[in-house]
Amino acid sequence: MGEIMRNRIVAILLAAVVAVPAIAADNQEWGQLNSVKPGQRIGVVQTDGKKLEGTFAGVTDADITITAGQVVKVPKDKVVRVYRRPRLTRIWHTAIGAGAGVVLGAVLNGTVGQYFRNEGHDTSPAVWIGAGAALGAGLGAASGGGDHTLYRRP
């Protein structure tokens, strides 16, 4: 047997070894949709690019059912991605972060700000509190509000 033939056989075996877990992962990931509780807000991205958002009603090996004004069954072969909508939106995360930033700014004003004022560097309390609020709002906005992928077709 020539070296070229041996390399082809090795390549085919390697491709089979790599493909088997990918095929199995598709079924395992689809099976994970059974952990979603009925009534949770989810979204389904279909192969034609349309998004369908609503509440989860159920899943079978062949399709997923969601209630979006009416009951809709989407076949598994048309599903590209299923995601869970967040409980708190990005706006709420931003507001919570800003509130925490105001508290942190007030604490920094009372400690580090007081130290700087004693050393002759006069910094207004509004600067500390405003900077804390801005930093907290930025971190809050960056930290959340996005969706969580439950299933993605490979």
Give me the CATH number covering residue 20: 2.30.30.100
Q: Is residue 151 part of a domain?
A: no
Identify the DSSP state of 154: -
Q: What is the structure's pLDDT at 143?
A: 81
Q: Which residues of the chain have pLDDT under 50?
A: 17-18, 20-28
In the numeric block, the tokens 């509780």 are attached to 37
Q: CA 58 to CA 60: how far, in whole Å?
A: 7
Does 79 share its domain with 94? no
Which of 40, 61, 85 is the last residue in one of the domains?
85
Does 79 share its domain with 119? no
In the numeric block, the tokens 């490979």 are attached to 154
Q: Is residue 126 part of a domain?
A: yes
Identify the DSSP state of 140: H
Does 70 share its domain with 98? no
Contacts of residue 36, defined as CB under 8 A and 6 or more positions apart, other chains included, come to 42, 56, 59, 84, 150
Interval 20-33: pLDDT, tens: 444 444 444 888 88
Q: What is the structure's pLDDT at 23?
A: 45
Q: Is residue 76 part of a domain?
A: yes
Q: Which of 106, 44, 129 is CA-nearest to residue 79?
A: 44
With contact defined as beta carbons under 8 Å apart, do 35 and 10 qualify? no
Q: Is residue 31 part of a domain?
A: yes
Average confidence score pLDDT of the chain: 81
Helix (H, G, I), strand (E, B) or coil at 88: coil
